[in-house]
Structure 1
Amino acid sequence: MVSGQEVTKPHFAFLPSPGLGHLIPLLEFAKHLVIHHNVHVSFLVINTEASAVQHQLLDPSTLPSDLRVINLPPADVSSRVNDSMKVITRLTYICQESFKHLRATLIELNLPKALIIDIFATDAFFICKELGIPVYSFFTSPTKLLALSFYLPKLDKEVECEYVDLPHPIQVPGCKPMRTDDLLDQLLNRKDEEYRYYLQHVSRLTMAAGIFVNTWDDLELKSNWLNAIKNDPFYKILPAPPVYPVGPLIKREEVVTESDEFILSWLDKQVPNSVLLVALGSGGTLTAEQLTELAIGLEMSKQKFILVVRKPNDLIAHGTFFNVGKDRDDPVSYLPEGFMKRTSGQGLVVPSWAPQVKILGHEATGGFLSHCGWNSSLESLVHGVPMIVWPLYAEQRMNATLLTEEVAIGVELVAVSAVAGGRKVVKREEIARVVRFVMEGEEGKVMRSKARELKQSAAKALKSGGSSYDLVSSIVESWK
């Protein structure tokens, strides 16, 4: 139960679906509300199939006193999920089983003033409607995907073929045409269960009392996506809920281990803007062939680097989504023979996981080769670091286009079809070329300058008087 002392402050609840890409931004928003807007938060957590890193992030000793972590009872999903299942289908099943306890938990919490969920926790809409609790959605991807998601139910009714077979780009209302090559994985096969579940979740977005998006006004000026949602007649007729840019909300603090200290000490010895961070997110994995090309390409570039690496996976690109932090294999066993010895003065190889925010915030870091997950993209922008985009799965191709063509702080690697199996591979020569392009070329300096401008505007947005800070203040006041 909420104590008498706690109920003197407005009480809100958060409910992210599993996966660090969902948990981290909702947790940061919860912290922001507690620290800056004088509220109490109950942070409801699904521990079923949770990673070791999730438990570390939710250590109560590291959180504000008015942010209380509440674990939903564990759910038995053994009969419904397996390792070969795709991400959204698996997330949906886990949420469905875990939410069997949600109604009782919310009643025990004396019915918070509002519940904030992410895109895959939409079953909560029906439970909260029964209890009279308004539900807000926190959209953890860019407004570009939000605009498409609002449009998807109409698109689904009007288009008979596969979207990738359309002879022209998709015209999202009020926005620039969207290339079918950029569509997220879940829209590539409409016969797949994964498509059905994504369509189901986004069809419920209109049930939200409002939608928080992890972006800020200055970033949105680079494109027309947010403006379209607010002003185009299509979204008014839906009607689309109010959309609130409240970011950029990124992880600000990280636990630094002894091995992390070694990384930071190594960075201290490097000259400013000289090191490329290579990290492909909490779930990203490369094939064995592609990992070899990446390693040799970094070596050929002659640039300083930190390579966060994990065991290759030839089957799926999100091989560690559900077990991040558990794959501490010895990189010697899967990196090219002699690579670590030859590059010992050039770079560092870090198994599985590294303090990404700390590295991006270090003055020695001058570039980021990233999978373009939205959290990592925002971390790069907040620290003024230009990017080399390497999208792997989900909506990352869409994010990559946004960063390279609209925000113009990133450059794309060009892949070719490999001889064996026809799978696309980025070759070592291309990797070496683009790394040098960003780290020592004039174009790289221009991107770095643009990234630093966004760094300044991002910091301003989150301070009192800034666009995101003041918007959140007004929302909290309306809740009170």
Structure 2
Amino acid sequence: LLITTNEPSPAQDQLLSSSHLPPDLHIVPLPPVEVDKKIINDGDVLVLTRLCVITDHSLRSLKSVLIALGKPNALVTDIFATQAFDVCKELLIPTYVYVTTSAAFSAFMLYLPKLDSDVNCEFIDLPEPIQVPGCSPIRTHDLLDQARNRKIDEYKWLLHHFSRLPLASGIFVNSWKDLEPVSIKSIKESPFFKQIPTPPIHPIGPIIKQEETLSVVDVECLKWLDKQPPDSVIFVTFGSGGTLSFEQQTELAWGLELSQQRFIWVVRKPTDSTGAGTFFNAGEANENDPKVYLPEGFLDRTQGVGFVVSSWAPQVTILGHHSTGGFLSHCGWNSVLESIVHGVPLVTWPLYAEQRMNSTMLVEDIGVAIKPKMEAGQQTIVGRKEIERVVRMVMEGEEGKVIRSRVKELEESATKALDSSGSSYESLSCVANYWKANHN
């Protein structure tokens, strides 16, 4: 596992020091590199640009590292590390891309260069949804932030890397056939994607975190959860880097209280900047007391009904607990898969990246989620009454029962996909056998 060492987050440090990593997984840090201090320190330089610049600089040592490792059978890269293609071509190493999000988003990535060449205006100004061949239309207000302004550096990085995806030997997608049958079939069979040409796509999901290291606070949280009835608790968290504004956090607190449903809520210091406000310090302990950011008396009034934790909680363990019956989530793809794998229906609350696209797909195509009413494309405040409505609906309403049944079906499907005769197992096995057969 090759990792960059510039600006490692606390979450990355926790993962790499975890005792749960496979014993035969070798961590190889790429040498730290000099990066323009403006990129690191300028608050106006956005997350994706920082990631791409750091990765670009770090990969300059890739050739020497791969030679020192004895030229591996294959290299699997992140979608924002496509510079590796050139090095691997020179060394005759097959290179694959691992897409950590959906097959639907993979289709959009492959289609973006065509969209960019065909459209002159901003995509957000298009009068009709974007029609990726063979896939569900994408409403322009669901587009990821980086594709809403084609003049910014983030979009240019996006286009650069997505344009290079056809150079890969194959694309691994963290999804499976039953979850996204339409998008997967389209990428494999649509004349448009064949013409690009698109590398072979290999759905190998769901790949999720299996074990977590528990802190003292985590243990207390789970003890509280043990005392609750089955499927009675809604888990509220916005991923490793998501934050809310002070006003929105206040409305969420009132909505949870008014719903009268049991909850576990991961509370972070609110910010009025970006929804990804803590991306680069994800996993960092917050020394501030959550009481400061919650309505006066909230903790006292919800004592016994709710459990509030600061900054971080063992998400996979909570979602897998028999008392957890709902998940109010930012719709990051890892969180989506963790919820589905454990049979937990969602309330969607997208914040950044491709999360709005994920949210719409979960509600309209997959049928495992409920979405609060928001004005299209606006950074609006979701009011307490609407929050109360959707929380009640997913936990005890008729619509909640329907999506709960659907997510239970997909929970079973996910297990089958990873079985020795399952679609994802077979997909990965085919690639592994190819590597073995072509090993020098």
TM-score, normalized by length of structure 2? Answer: 0.96
- By how many angstroms is 1:197 displaced? 0.6
Aligned residue identity for 1:287 = S
Aligned match of 1:425: 381
The correspondence for 2:421, drawn from 447, 452, 465, is 465
Counterpart-to-counterpart distance in 2, 1:450 and 1:423? 30
Output aligned runs, 1:25-64, within 5 Å. 43-59=1-17, 61-64=19-22
Aligned match of 1:439: 395
Aligned residue identity for 2:206 = P
Contact 1:415 1:427 in 2 (8 A): no
Aligned residue identity for 1:369 = L
- By how many angstroms is 1:60 displaced? 6.1
Structure 2: tracts of 5 or more residues without a match:
none
Moved more, 393-402 or 81-90: 81-90
- By how many angstroms is 1:327 displaced? 4.5
Aligned residue identity for 2:47 = V
Structure 1: tracts of 5 or more residues without a match:
1-42
Deviations 1:414-469 (A, max 9, x none): 1369xxxx841100010011100111112111111111111111011111111111
Counterpart-to-counterpart distance in 1, 2:423 and 2:187? 18
The correspondence for 2:226, drawn from 268, 271, 274, is 268
Aligned match of 1:14: none
- By how many angstroms is 1:89 displaced? 0.6
Output aligned runs, 1:188-227, within 5 Å. 188-221=148-181, 224-227=182-185
The correspondence for 2:63, drawn from 81, 103, 108, is 103
* 1:376 matched to 2:335: yes
* 1:152 matched to 2:152: no
What is the aligned residue count? 432
The correspondence for 1:68, drawn from 26, 51, 59, is 26
The correspondence for 1:341, drawn from 295, 300, 307, is 300
The correspondence for 2:208, drawn from 236, 247, 250, is 250
Output aligned runs, 1:385-464, within 5 Å. 385-415=344-374, 423-464=379-420
Counterpart-to-counterpart distance in 1, 2:273 and 2:78? 28
- By how many angstroms is 1:281 displaced? 0.6
Moved more, 201-210 or 92-101: 92-101
Counterpart-to-counterpart distance in 2, 1:322 and 1:413? 28
* 1:88 matched to 2:52: no
Aligned match of 2:241: 283
Counterpart-to-counterpart distance in 2, 1:108 and 1:60? 26
Aligned match of 2:96: 136
Partner SS for 1:117: strand
Partner SS for 2:263: strand
Partner SS for 1:276: strand
* 1:295 matched to 2:253: yes
Check 1:183–1:423 CA distance in 2 against 1; reply closer, same or farther (3 A cut).
closer
Counterpart-to-counterpart distance in 2, 1:147 and 1:65? 35
- By how many angstroms is 1:399 displaced? 0.2
Contact 2:225 2:323 in 1 (8 A): yes
- By how many angstroms is 1:79 displaced? 4.2
Q: Tell me the C-alpha RMSD between the 2 structures.
A: 1.3
Contact 1:60 1:69 in 2 (8 A): no
- By how many angstroms is 1:199 displaced? 0.4
Deviations 1:113-142 (A, max 9, x none): 111011111111112122221110001111
Counterpart-to-counterpart distance in 1, 2:90 and 2:38? 29
Deviations 1:374-423 (A, max 9, x none): 00000000000000000001100000011000000100011369xxxx84
Identical amino acids, percent of aligned pairs: 56
Aligned match of 1:7: none
Runs of 4+ in 1 over 3 A off after TM superposition: none
Counterpart-to-counterpart distance in 1, 2:211 and 2:344? 18
Aligned residue identity for 2:196 = L
Counterpart-to-counterpart distance in 2, 1:118 and 1:344? 43
Deviations 1:43-73 (A, max 9, x none): 1111211111211111264322211111112
Counterpart-to-counterpart distance in 1, 2:426 and 2:310? 41
